[in-house]
Chain A
Amino acid sequence: MACFLVPVAEAVVATVITKAVEAKETEAAQRKADTGNNNFETKSQIPLASKLKWLTSMLWGGSALLAFEHLWHGEVVPWFPFLTAASDPAAAAEMLAEMATVGVAMAVLVTTVWGVMLLVTKAMEKKALQTQPISD
């Protein structure tokens, strides 16, 4: 009915966090470049902002296609109140229940998959760092 709204809400929050982290990382990189501290640094880690972008891309992309599915089934309409279930109290209650179950499960699964990806990436980064030759 409107389960995609839960991942959309998470996507909004994740996007704001991504922008903040990106700004922080850019500032830190700039400071490092200004002080000349990165002369012999080996790049082995994917920035956190990039990793957060994986999550936001999955959430926004998935939600967009799911919103289309809801449009297809007539559950979302391009006029107010946009959700057909919102105009009827009984249907609205059902919609909220679906958001709390299906919607939350969607957001949790996407986030869990992203979490697993982070763990795998971390292990790969660690392995790459260990095999890197030590430079003076």
Chain B
Amino acid sequence: MTLLITVFAAIISTVIWYKNAPRDEMKVGMLCWMYWGAALMWLVDAIFGYVEQQAEYFTPTPVEMLNDLFLGLSAVALGLIIWLVVLLIKDPKGVIRAAWLKQR
């Protein structure tokens, strides 16, 4: 479930990035790399899980699924927070810098 949610997040962010390419003012590219990186790593985790548990891997209990759903959504939220922090620090549009200079 975590892998699936991350893959969807990666696909959505990649579509958004492609729609605005080659401009990347909002640094969506960073979000794509982050989600794809995590998706690949969780894919390896899933493969090892499958090797260990075989078909049982695909039949998790409802509690496990719910926990994985929360984890996946939380991971996506964390990714968005990291992206937002980097975006505000780098401030590619200069909005924060301009507001700060105006205040001074």
Contact = CB atoms under 8 A, between A and B. Distances in A.
A59 B40 CA distance: 10
Nearest to B9: A65
Contacts of B30: 57, 61
Interface stretch (A18-26, A66-74, A76-84, A127-135): A66-74
A58 B36 contact: yes
Contacts of A4: 41
Given A54-B33, A57-B33, A66 B41 contact: yes
Contacts of B43: 109
A26 to B, nearest CB: 19
A79 to B, nearest CB: 20
Please report whether the interface of chain A is mostly helix, strand, loop or mixed according to DSSP: helix
B34 A61 contact: yes
A58 B48 contact: no
A66 B40 contact: no
Contacts of A101: 48
Given A7-B41, A113-B40, A58 B78 contact: no
Contact of A66 (B33, B35, B38, B48): B38
Most buried by B among A7, A60, A65, A110: A65
A65 B40 contact: no
A66 B44 contact: no
A58 B33 contact: yes
Nearest to A98: B48
Contacts of A60: 34, 37
A39 to B, nearest CB: 24
Nearest to B49: A102
A105 interface: yes
Contact of A65 (B29, B47, B48, B75): B75
A74 B47 CA distance: 22
Nearest to A108: B44
16 contacts: A3-B41, A4-B41, A7-B37, A57-B29, A57-B30, A58-B36, A61-B33, A62-B41, A63-B41, A64-B34, A64-B38, A65-B79, A66-B38, A69-B75, A102-B48, A105-B47
In the A-B complex, list the 7 residue pairs whose CB atoms are closest, starting with the nearest: A61-B34, A62-B37, A57-B33, A58-B37, A65-B38, A62-B38, A106-B41
